[in-house]
Amino acid sequence: MPELPEVETTRRGIAPHLVGQRVSQVVVRERRLRWPIPDALDVRLSGQRIEAVERRAKYLLIKAEVGTLIAHLGMSGSLRLVPADLPVGKHEHVDFVLESGMALRYTDPRRFGALLWSADPLSHVLLASLGPEPLSDDFDGERLYQLSRGRSMAVKPFIMDNAVVVGVGNIYASEALFAAGIDPRRAAGAVSRARYMKLAVEIKRILAYAIERGGTTLRDFVGGDGKPGYFQQELFVYGRGGDLCKRCGSTLREIRLGQRASVYCGRCQR
């Protein structure tokens, strides 16, 4: 699933081509995504000028003059700029045709993504209860420490809870916990304030670096410009179960936490 750095990479890739452009047409070839694409989306968006392309958690907010398109890439979705007359391939469900002659094309083989419309996106049910952005000043180790008190759940699913902090998905939770030396199985309430301070710093550092490197390319993801990211080449634990730890040389262990695969080093993480 595309995570926060992949979504931010997409935002940065498409924003310069969208902002200031007017949408001439919305072509919907398949409405059946995670939630059906609104029937009136074409009417609402056509003729509107795009004023901004923002991100909240893993949602892209394409703001027009009278409303906002809320886009989520789901498990396998992507948004990229193509010539409007480029022949349509399989799973290319929606085109937002621009006056420039380009089109923002939404592709989603599994159809778990979403394209919704809202006059007030931050109050939308999908966004209203989200926690702070991990790269903002509202997120720090003290927040993690205070929210974790009395919590018996493992620390990894705790930091992946969008009510605690948004955008720390499986890849980056695994990498941040390794960098902070914390066993992902440890109870959230048993982690000290000092270790949460270290963990928050590592979450910020790793996410910022992954964005700089273009996100993590997995099986399905490419950026908005069609180019893959390169952070995958630098992963320490995610997807490396059974391999040797790059730091100490011991064999990395793979377990299941919260129905997700989790890889960690039994020597480096306590």
Catalytic residues: 2-3, 58, 260
Q: Confirm or deny that 151 is annotated as ligand binding.
A: yes
Contact 79, 55 (CB under 8 A): no
**The pair of three-digit structure tokens given for residue 123, joined into one six-digit string:** 């109050």
Question: For residues 105 and 84, what is the distance between their CA atoms, to the nearest angstrom?
Answer: 9
HEC string of the chain equals CCCHHHHHHHHHHHHHHHCCCEEEEEEECCCCCCCCCCCCHHHHHCCCEEEEEEEECCEEEEEECCCEEEEECCCCCEEEEEECCCCCCCCEEEEEEECCCEEEEEECCCCCCEEEEECCHHHCCCCCCCCCCCCCCCCCHHHHHHHHCCCCCEHHHHHCCCCCCCCCCHHHHHHHHHHHCCCCCCEHHHCCHHHHHHHHHHHHHHHHHHHHCCCCCCCCCCCCCCCCCCHHHHCCCCCCCCCECCCCCCECEEEEECCEEEEECCCCCC
Phi-psi region of 82 (alpha: psi -120 to 50; beta: other; left: phi over 0): beta
Kindly calculate the radius of gyration of the chain based on its CA atoms and give it in whole angstroms.
20
Beta-bridge mates of residue 251: 244
**The pair of three-digit structure tokens given for residue 135, joined into one six-digit string:** 């790269």
Q: Confirm or deny that 110 is annotated as ligand binding.
A: yes
Write out the binding residues for DNA. Answer: 91, 110, 151
Binding-site members are 91, 110, 151
